Amino acid sequence: MIVKIESKFFDVENSYKIDIAIKNGRYSSLNKIFEMSPESLVEKVDKSGLRGKGGGGAPAGKKWQLMQGYDDRPKYLAVNADESEPGTFKDRQIMQKDPHLLIEGIIDTSYAIRANRAYIYIRGEYAYPAKILNEAINEAYRKGFLGNNIKGSGFNLDIVVHRGAGAYICGEKSALLESLEGKRGHPRLKPHQKEPEWFFGEPTLVNNVETISSVPFIVNEGSDAYRAYGTEKSPGTMLFGMSGHINNPGIYEVPFGVSMKEYLEKIGGGVKNGKKLKAVIPGGSSCAILKADEIENITLDYESLRANGSSLGTGGMIVMDEDVFIPDITKNLLEFYHHESCGQCTPCREGVGWSDRLLHKILSGKGTKKDMDTIMDVTTLLNGKTICVFAPAVATVLVSHIKKFPDEFYKLCN
C-alpha cells in the first residue's frame, strides 16, 4: 500500500545535504528538461494528470498552460509553503527531509513556465524548515544548479525564501501574493475568466510544496509512470497524514484510491488503547467531519470524498476515538478560525466571531436551542458571500459537526 516517490529518501541519514541528495538522484531531471521545450514539459505534466495537493486539487498542467502567451513579460513562480491548516504537516516533511527535491521541482517548473525568479512563501512558525531550505538553496547555488546559465542551458533562476508572519489566511494564494508584495494579507476578488495569478502585475503560477515536488518524478519516469498509481481522475500518490487518537501517527505516501479504513487500520495501526473510532476529519480541519460508519467504503481520492459529503483537502486526517466530545472539538476549531479571519469581509469577520461566542455560551451551560438555531442561520451568511473560501469552510465545519452529532450539542441547551 505504501509507495515511496516523494518520500523515497525521508529515512536516509543527512538526506537534506546536497551531496547525499545528488547521490540519491536529485537534480537528474535537469538533464532532461533542458533538452525539451518549455511547452513540451507543460504538456508532459498535463498528460500525467498531476493535481494540486494543497487542497483544491486543480489540474496542475492546466494551471501551467495559463502562463503561456506572456513571453514578453517577467514571470514568477510562488511556492505555497504556508502550511497552517490544523492537522496538516506533510509539506514540512519534504522541506526538512528532502529540500533538494523541492528545489529540483522548482527549477523544472520555472523552466516550464519561463520564470527566472521563484519565491517560497513559508509559514512564519516554520523557522527550522526555513533554515534548512535556505542552506539547501545556498548549496544549490554553489553547485551551479541555481543562478545564471544553469548547467550551460542559458536558463537563469533565483529562489528566494520569504517567511510569513503567522497569518493562516496567507495560505490562500491571492492573500499570499498580497503579503509577498508587502501589503496586508487579504484575499483578492477572483477574475471572471481563467487566467494566471498576478505578482506586481506580472503573470505568476502558485502551487504548493508537494505539487512542485511531484514534478521531477514525472520528468524522469514519464507521465504514464505517474498515472500507473492512483485512479483515472486522481492519478499518482499523496503524502497522507494521521494525527490524534491513532497508534501510528505520521506521514505515509500511498496512491490515491486506497481504502480509508484500511489506511487507518493497517498503516495507522488502528485507534489507540483499543478504543472505538468515533469520527475522522479527512483532509485538515476545514473538511466536513465523517462518522466512523461513513468511512467504510470511502477511498482516499478527490471524487470519493466529495461523493461522501467531505473533501480530500490536504490529506491530513484527524482521528477521534469514542471518548471525544464533538462540541469541544468544534469550539477548539472555532477559536482558531475566529482568531485567523482576516476581517476583510463582514460576514466572515462578524459571523465567525458570533458563532464562536454562541458556542461558548452553549458549552458554559447558558445556551438555548434558539442559540443553536442562530448558529445554523449564521452558516448561511458565511457560505458564498465572501471573497475567499475561509468563511464557507467555517460553515462546513459547523454544519457537518452539528448535523452529524446533533444530540451532543442540543443536550447542552436549556
Report d(CA 214, CA 66) in Å as an integer.
Answer: 20
Please determine, for residue 192, whether its predicted confidence score (pLDDT) is greater than 90: no
Residue 267 identity (one-letter amino acid): I
pLDDT of residue 1: 86
Q: Which helix (H) or strand (E) holds 380?
A: helix 369-382
90, containing H or E segment: helix 90-97
Positive or negative: CA dihedral 192, 195, 196, 199: negative
Q: Report the distance separating Cα 182 and Cα 199, nearest Å.
A: 11
Model confidence pTM above 0.85? yes
Q: What are phi and psi of 229, to 5 degrees?
A: -105, 155
CA angle 100, 102, 106 (to 5 degrees): 110
Q: d(Cα 262, Cα 22) in Å, to the nearest integer?
A: 35
DSSP-based three-state secondary structure for 140: helix
Strand partners, 205: 77
For residue range 233-258, list pLDDT tens digits in order: 999 999 999 999 999 999 999 999 99
- The CA-CA-CA angle for residues 97, 99, 100, to 5°, reads 125
pLDDT tens-place string over residues 157-190: 999 999 999 999 999 999 999 999 999 999 999 9
* Residue 213 to residue 100: CA distance in whole angstroms: 9
**Pair 283, 315: CB distance under 8 Å:** yes
- Cα 289 from Cα 184, distance rounded (Å): 32
> What SS3 state is found at 305?
helix
Banded model confidence at residue 402, pLDDT cuts 50, 70, 90: very high
* Sign of the four-CA dihedral 190, 192, 198, 200: negative
Q: How far apart are alpha carbons 57 and 338 in whole angstroms?
A: 26
Alpha helices in 257-345 (DSSP H): 260-262, 302-307, 326-340
The pLDDT-based confidence of 277 (bands split at 50, 70, 90) is very high
125: how many CB neighbours lie within 10 A of its CB?
15
Structural contact between residues 82 and 163, judged by C-beta atoms closer than 8 angstroms: no
Hey, what amino acid is at 298? Answer: I
Q: What are the backbone dihedrals phi and psi of residue 121, each rounded to the nearest 5 degrees, phi first?
A: -90, 105
CA-based torsion, 270, 274, 276, 278: positive or negative:
negative
- Sheet containing strand 316-321, edge to edge, reads 250-255, 237-244, 316-321, 277-281, 290-291
Q: What is the pLDDT of residues 132-154, one digit of tens each?
A: 999 999 999 999 999 999 999 99
- How far apart, in whole angstroms, are the C-alpha atoms of residue 318 and residue 302? 17
Q: What's the whole-number average pLDDT of the chain?
A: 97
Rounded CA-CA distance 203/65 in Å is: 12
- Dmax (CA) of the chain: 74
pLDDT in tens, 282-299: 999 999 999 999 999 999
The amino acid present at 64, given as its one-letter code, is W
pLDDT band (50, 70, 90) for residue 81:
very high
- Using alpha carbons, list the distances in angstroms from residue 204 to 113, 114, 268, 312: 9, 10, 38, 26
Three-state DSSP class for 162? Answer: strand
Q: What is the pLDDT of residue 266?
A: 97
